[in-house]
Amino acid sequence: MTDQITLYSYWRSSAAYRVRIGLNLKGLRYEIQPVHLLRDGGEQHTPAFRKTNPQGLVPVLEHGNRQLRQSLAILEYLDETWPDRPLLPATARARQRARAIAQAIACDVHPLNNLRVLKYFEHEWHVPQPERDTWVKHWINEGFAAIEEMLGGHLSTGQYCEGEAPTIADCCLVPQVYNARRFGVDIAAYPTIARIEQACLALAAFDLARPERQPDRPE
Amino acid sequence: MTDQITLYSYWRSSAAYRVRIGLNLKGLRYEIQPVHLLRDGGEQHTPAFRKTNPQGLVPVLEHGNRQLRQSLAILEYLDETWPDRPLLPATARARQRARAIAQAIACDVHPLNNLRVLKYFEHEWHVPQPERDTWVKHWINEGFAAIEEMLGGHLSTGQYCEGEAPTIADCCLVPQVYNARRFGVDIAAYPTIARIEQACLALAAFDLARPERQPDRPE
């Protein structure tokens, strides 16, 4: 297919960051359509964007006339549609492990620390900022401790989370480490995670997907 | 493979419920190894179980000597290992949609309402029960409103979330509806979700996976 690819993205959204990495790893050309998650109460809540995604979340990937939602489901779609430079390993066992690491982040860490959750605490429960930050760090540390154990002691951990090529797991790990740093989590406590992040960011596909390299980053 | 299959499960865990449905849809024989999430502070936190899953979460699926974590990654593994009676649709487009619906639940609803989160609110922030219940219902209603829109208006919604056979999306939807009822969410407000739940529960694979049919349910 040569259909146009457009990614609805926000520079700091770690779910959008995952998909940017995936698109870059595949070597696909795409346009960024920025959705500013903070301006005017959040552009993701406009009626126009709600048509694109009733969940009011980024990312959304448009491929031709298809509107695709949910970052991990988008990465799977990229892999099925463009099989070269796979985002999933070769065996069912290794794929299961890569997906499980991805989901340990995408299901058990990131959703708890998302913007909409922190806004709920602020506006509904008036939780002070320091407690909100403690909450964020708690879930990152709990998740990273488990992931470090899953990575550090496992024979199939290689230069990347699963083997010697980046997978869907790395697409999730690197944005989560970015988030962790924002909140002052000590990444050195997770040596395997830290090592894999460095290996990933040495690749152009990851480097070009960084928040600070996005067209919608603030000056 | 004829290796033994064991599911570490808790009757009321909706993530374990998803995997029970998947195993039943595949017609696979498996043993349930109950992990009581409440007794003695939670059996998922014992050193023995932490070796099985450093995240301290159910489900875990043991297949022979493999220990598989994360419910959606386990369902994908089942589908790859036993391709008959697929849990994923036939085309990349339909698979993307089924996975996105599954993830709208597994990433954006369920993690916010999980036991460990509610415990944090109770023990760290002393949030009273009514506010905790409001929180739970808020995220279920927000998620279901979006999913209802994704299902109700879409041509490829059939008897089930995607087409005329149950998929990974239904494996996630039915347990989430069970959770929603526990917290008093009005399911009638989501007519497509309610219709699909009924269609699913009419199938033995779903019926036998229900919490109240599990060996570890209370008397």
Predicted local distance difference test score (pLDDT) of residue B5: 98
Predicted local distance difference test score (pLDDT) of residue A2: 64
Q: Please report, as a single letter, which amino acid is at residue A13.
A: S
- Over residues B93-114, mean pLDDT: 97
Query: What is the rounded distance in angstroms from the CA atom of residue A155 to the CA atom of residue B20?
Result: 29
Choose among A188, A154, A150, A153: nearest CA to A172.
A150
Statement: residue B1 has pLDDT above 60: no
Q: Which two tokens stand for residue A115?
A: 């913007």
- Over residues B22-51, mean pLDDT: 94
Domain boundaries, chain B: 5-85, 92-206
CB-closest option in A68, A80, A103 to B73: A103
Strand-pairing partners, residue B7, are B32, B61
With CB atoms and an 8 Å threshold, state whether A76 touches B70: no
Residue of B nearest to A74 (CA): B96
Residue to mutate among B108, B112, B129, B141, with most A CBs inside 10 A, is B108
Predicted local distance difference test score (pLDDT) of residue A153: 79
Query: What is the rounded distance in angstroms from the CA atom of residue A128 to the CA atom of residue A32?
Result: 34
User: Which chain A residues are Cβ-neighbours of B66 within 8 angstroms?
Assistant: 93, 96
With CB atoms and an 8 Å threshold, state whether B54 touches A146: yes
Q: Provide the 10 A C-beta neighbour count for residue A67.
A: 16
Choose among B94, B60, B163, B120: nearest CA to A137.
B120
Predicted local distance difference test score (pLDDT) of residue B176: 98
CB-closest option in B54, B73, B93 to A96: B73
With CB atoms and an 8 Å threshold, state whether A92 touches B77: yes
Alpha carbon of A188 to those of A150, A158, A183, B131, B164: distances in Å?
17, 19, 14, 37, 50
Angle between helices B168-182 and B191-201 (to 10 degrees): 110
With CB atoms and an 8 Å threshold, state whether A73 touches B107: no
What CATH class does A5-85 carry? alpha beta
- What is chain A's pLDDT, residue by residue, as a tens digit (219 residues)? 568 999 999 999 999 999 999 999 999 999 999 999 999 889 999 999 999 999 999 999 999 999 999 999 999 999 999 999 999 999 999 999 999 999 999 999 999 999 999 999 999 999 999 999 999 999 999 999 999 999 997 999 999 999 999 999 999 999 999 999 999 999 999 999 999 999 999 999 999 999 999 999 998
Predicted local distance difference test score (pLDDT) of residue B174: 98
Q: Please report, as a single letter, which amino acid is at residue B145.
A: A
Query: What is the rounded distance in angstroms from the CA atom of residue B68 to the CA atom of residue B66?
Result: 6
Q: Which two tokens stand for residue B104?
A: 């709208």
Statement: residue B149 has pLDDT above 90: yes
Q: Nearest CA of chain B to the CA of A107: how many Å?
A: 4
CB-closest option in B70, B92, B147 to A103: B70
Residue of A nearest to B135 (CA): A120
Residue of A nearest to B94 (CA): A77
For B154, counting Cβ atoms within 10 Å of its Cβ (0-12 exposed, 13-18 middle, 19+ buried), the class is middle
With CB atoms and an 8 Å threshold, state whether B77 touches A95: yes
User: Which chain B residues are Cβ-neighbours of A76 within 8 angstroms?
Assistant: 95-96, 99
Q: Nearest CA of chain B to the CA of A219: how many Å?
A: 31
With CB atoms and an 8 Å threshold, state whether B96 touches A74: yes
Q: Nearest CA of chain B to the CA of A216: how many Å?
A: 25
With CB atoms and an 8 Å threshold, state whether B95 touches A107: no
Query: What is the rounded distance in angstroms from the CA atom of residue B25 to the CA atom of residue A2?
Result: 37
Residue of B nearest to A138 (CA): B120
Torsion (CA) A66, A67, A69, A71 in degrees, nearest 10: 70
Residue of B nearest to A65 (CA): B93
Strand A60-63, strand A31-34: pairing: unpaired
CB pairs under 8 A between A and B: 118
Statement: residue B2 has pLDDT above 90: no
Q: Which two tokens stand for residue A55?
A: 């969940």
With CB atoms and an 8 Å threshold, state whether B100 touches A68: yes
Q: If residue B31 lies in a helix (H) or strand (E), which one and from where to where?
A: strand B31-34
What CATH class does B92-206 carry? mainly alpha
Residue A110 in 3-state DSSP? helix
Q: Which two tokens stand for residue B178?
A: 């069970």
CB A206 within 8 A of CB A21: yes
Predicted local distance difference test score (pLDDT) of residue A16: 98
Q: Nearest CA of chain A to the CA of B175: how many Å?
A: 16
Residue A85 DSSP symbol: S
CB B25 within 8 A of CB B207: no
Residue B109 DSSP symbol: T
- Over residues B81-87, mean pLDDT: 98
- Over residues B50-71, mean pLDDT: 95
Query: What is the rounded distance in angstroms from the CA atom of residue A82 to the CA atom of residue A107?
Result: 25
Alpha carbon of B184 to those of A22, B38, B140, B173, B212: distances in Å?
40, 22, 11, 16, 18
